[in-house]
Amino acid sequence: MRHENIETNVGLLVALTLVVISIGGLIEIVPLFFIDETIEQVKTTDGKDAIRPFTPLESRGRDIYIREGCYLCHSQMIRPFRDEILRYGHYSLAAESQYDHPFQWGSKRTGPDLARVGGKYSNEWHTQHMIAPRSVMPDSIMPNYPWLLENDLKYNDIAGRLKSQRIVGVPYSLTDEEYEANVERFGKEAADRLNIHAAEENLMAQAEQGNYDGDRSRLTEMDALVAYLQVLGTMVDFKQYDEGHFAEFR
């Protein structure tokens, strides 16, 4: 059959288009019925879940990240391509976004990918970079965000924010049973930080311990944002897995 015959016959073109779309859809959908899980099982050396929900402080930092539109210029999705792995690190796992609602994969990279930025730079570097990006990255086109250091962090509604995330399945605990389940799943230290009843206390304690903005006299939006950036990509210890271990989940 000549291609010209297909293009000039609207009915045939529509029918063949639907056939092609149907085949493509089946190729994508059918395998989902034959796999047990679409999220990788990522464990620590003591058998706990390596991926945990964000702490109250990190969660507020994520809120600020979204508010300032950081996702418009930065992705958080390293694709399984050699050039991206060499630059940014191990490709992103589905498990790393399972508690991210909505996820921050992004759609463009005016700036570099941030999926594994945690621990790459110091707190002082991040703070200075947010205040005046070109003071540490001369070629940066990122705008200045000095108000993050000027604005006190609002956290009196943090318990309500965490409760809202429970609606979409993020396992912050409200009851003793949920707390014990988190101890079993994530370990006691993480479970303590995921306890909604102690959300404000945990937020302040982490900020005091981390001193993310370099000023212990105040709790600022910069503290929260830097805490969030510093945890990105740090929950999985890829050194304990053989190369290609996670390929079976793809």
Can you tell me the distance from the alpha carbon of 16 to that of 111, in angstroms, rounded to the nearest whole number? 42
Render pLDDT for 36-84 as a digit per residue (tens, 0 to 9): 777 888 999 899 999 999 999 999 999 999 999 999 999 999 999 999 9
Q: Which amino acid is at 217?
A: S
User: pTM score, two decimals?
Assistant: 0.87
| pLDDT over threshold 70, residue 249 | no
Render pLDDT for 162-198 as a digit per residue (tens, 0 to 9): 999 999 999 999 999 999 999 999 999 999 999 999 9
- Residue 22: what pLDDT? 96
Q: Which amino acid is at 43?
A: K
3-state secondary structure 146-184: CHHHHCECCCCCHHHHHHHHHCCCCCCECCHHHHHHHHH
User: Tokens 């390596």 correspond to what residue?
Assistant: 50
- Residue 231: what pLDDT? 98
Domain ranges, ordered by start, for the chain: 3-34, 56-249
Alpha-carbon separation of residue 37 from 60, 85, 157, 215 (angstroms): 30, 24, 35, 44
Which of the residue ranges 28-32, 33-37, 235-239 has the most confident prediction, judged by mean pLDDT?
A: 235-239
- Residue 250: what pLDDT? 62
Render pLDDT for 120-163 as a digit per residue (tens, 0 to 9): 999 999 999 999 999 999 999 999 999 999 999 999 999 999 99
**C-alpha dihedral sign at 209, 212, 214, 218:** negative
Alpha-carbon separation of residue 7 from 19, 20, 165 (angstroms): 15, 15, 50
Residues 6+ apart with CB under 8 A from 229: 61, 65, 114, 117, 118, 126
Q: What superfamily would CATH give domain 56-249?
A: Cytochrome c-like domain (1.10.760.10)
Helix 56-67 vs helix 199-210: angle between axes, to the nearest 10 degrees? 80
